[in-house]
């Protein structure tokens, strides 16, 4: 038999086996999809958590501190300048995260091209004195590429935030659909609207006197609640608080893999008993050992590809629907991991199936030429 005809014959047998054991094959696809879809979304959540504790790009994190007002209120621009001047701190960076309880605006906290977005949409106005601030005019902004594409925005277009208009100066690659604004003007906008937001104030202080700094804050706003830590300490604290969550998620992933393996071995064991007679007789009629292995692994490979494509389709349908208000950070690395995991499952399942088949009484009898 020619090699091409031999391969086509083997594929024909694979298709026959897929049809003959349709119920078991569908059950295997379902168990693979169910077992892998949960880890994919957990990976996405883990990436979100890890990215949330990544320190901003600062040269000296040990001597750089962050003041977090914890949504208790916003320090006015003049108050910030006063605190920094009294504390003899020259280099500092504003960062505002989210807008809460916006008076008179409610559901129109962010308007893009005149289209009102829900008030819970996340955006992060930021100003960096050394980088972004020096490049942005008072009524200019940077906007995330994905957010711009979603709303059909380009450089030069104007967006309206809390009634103030900003011209898009640059499309940048950022996290969480961010809009970057010059903080000086945006702080004034928040004050004018009596809005509250969580303010992060980053500053560099080689000889930092925390007690004196906190006294200046109390003079400006005695009711303000806040946390104050160095960037390195903040990162350590955040990592420590997230560690139990990440370990729990890793445990869930392990449980999912155990679920997949148990289901795989159970289904392959049943398939081996059903396939034993047909494949054993095929061996007796001249099917080579290579062809025998090809049929087993080929069938599993097709099942794995169906499961993988189903996973990608389900992921796309869920993420790009209204079920999620934000994109999960599932990268190509996670999808590659999923593909490699499924490939290993094919290898494990195939080897188990071969061992199980070759130990069936009918296969042993044929090898001993007791059955012709």
Contact 366, 305 (CB under 8 A): no
pLDDT digits (tens, 9 = 90+) for 217-275: 888 888 887 878 777 777 777 777 778 888 888 888 888 888 888 888 888 888 877 77
| pTM exceeds 0.85 for this model | no
The residues near 118 (Cβ < 8 Å, ≥ 6 apart) are 107, 325
Does residue 94 sit in helix, strand or coil?
strand
List alpha helices for 151-228, DSSP H: 183-192, 210-220
Q: Which residues contact 120 (CB under 8 A, 6 or more apart)?
A: 325
Residue 146's nearest CA partner among 112, 119, 171 is 171
Rg (alpha carbons) of the chain, rounded to whole number? 30
pLDDT value for 365: 66
Whole-angstrom Cα distance, residue 292 to residue 363?
A: 12
CB 39 within 8 A of CB 33: no
Dihedral angle computed from the Cα positions of residues 162, 163, 166 and 167, in that order, rounded to the nearest 10 degrees: 130
Tokens at 328, concatenated: 């999960």
Would you list the domain boundaries of the chain? 3-52+241-367, 70-225
pLDDT, residue 179, reads 67
pLDDT at 115: 29
Long-range CB contacts (within 8 A, 24+) of 313-320: 314/33, 314/37, 315/37, 315/40
Q: Match 């007002």 to its residue by tokens.
A: 69
Q: Which of 284, 279, 294, 242 is nearest to 356 (CA)?
A: 279
Please compute, for residue 318, the number of CA atoms within 13 A of its CA located in the half-sphere on the CB side. Answer: 13
* pLDDT less than 50: residues of the chain: 1-4, 98-134, 176, 322, 325-326, 370-372
Structure tokens at 199: 């303010």
The set of residues, in sequence order, having a beta carbon less than 8 Å from that of 155 and lying 6+ positions away, is 168, 169, 170, 171
Structure token pair of residue 50: 């890890």
Provide the sign of the torsion angle of the four alpha carbons 175, 179, 183, 187, taken in this order: negative
Alpha helices in 166-230 (DSSP H): 183-192, 210-220
Burial bucket for residue 206 (CB in 10 Å: 0-12, 13-18, 19+): exposed
Largest Cα separation within the chain, whole Å, is 99
């Amino acid at each position: 038999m020619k090699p091409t005809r031999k391969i086509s014959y083997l594929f024909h047998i694979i298709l026959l086996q897929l049809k003959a054991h349709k119920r078991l094959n569908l059950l295997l696809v379902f168990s693979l999809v169910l077992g892998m879809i949960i880890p994919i979304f957990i990976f996405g959540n883990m990436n979100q958590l890890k990215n949330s504790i990544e320190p901003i790009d600062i040269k000296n994190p040990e001597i750089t501190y962050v003041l977090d007002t914890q949504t208790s209120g916003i320090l006015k621009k003049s108050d910030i300048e006063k605190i920094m001047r009294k504390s003899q701190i020259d280099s500092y960076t504003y960062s505002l995260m989210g807008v809460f309880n916006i008076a008179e605006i409610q559901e129109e906290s962010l308007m893009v091209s005149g289209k009102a977005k829900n008030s819970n949409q996340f955006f992060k106005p930021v100003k960096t004195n050394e980088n972004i601030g020096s490049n942005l005019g008072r009524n200019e902004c940077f906007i995330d590429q994905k957010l711009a594409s979603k709303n059909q925005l380009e450089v030069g277009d104007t967006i309206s935030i809390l009634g103030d208009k900003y011209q898009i100066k640059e499309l940048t690659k950022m996290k969480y659909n961010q809009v970057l604004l010059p903080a000086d003007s945006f702080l004034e906008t928040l004050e004018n609207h009596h809005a509250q937001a969580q303010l992060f104030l980053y500053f560099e202080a080689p000889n930092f006197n925390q007690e004196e700094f906190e006294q200046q804050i109390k003079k400006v706003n005695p009711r303000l609640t806040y946390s104050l830590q160095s960037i390195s300490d903040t990162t350590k604290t955040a990592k420590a608080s997230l560690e139990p969550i990440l370990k729990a998620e890793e445990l869930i992933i392990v449980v999912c893999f155990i679920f997949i393996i148990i289901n795989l071995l159970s289904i392959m064991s049943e398939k081996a008993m059903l396939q034993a007679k047909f494949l054993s007789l095929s061996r007796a009629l001249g099917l080579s050992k290579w062809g025998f292995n090809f049929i087993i692994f080929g069938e599993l490979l097709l099942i794995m590809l169906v499961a993988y494509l189903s996973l990608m389709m389900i992921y796309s349908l869920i993420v790009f629907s209204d079920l999620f208000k934000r994109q999960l950070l599932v990268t190509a690395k996670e999808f590659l991991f999923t593909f490699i995991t499924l490939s290993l499952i094919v290898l494990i399942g195939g080897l188990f199936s071969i061992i199980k088949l070759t130990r069936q009484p009918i296969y042993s009898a044929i090898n001993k030429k007791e059955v012709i």
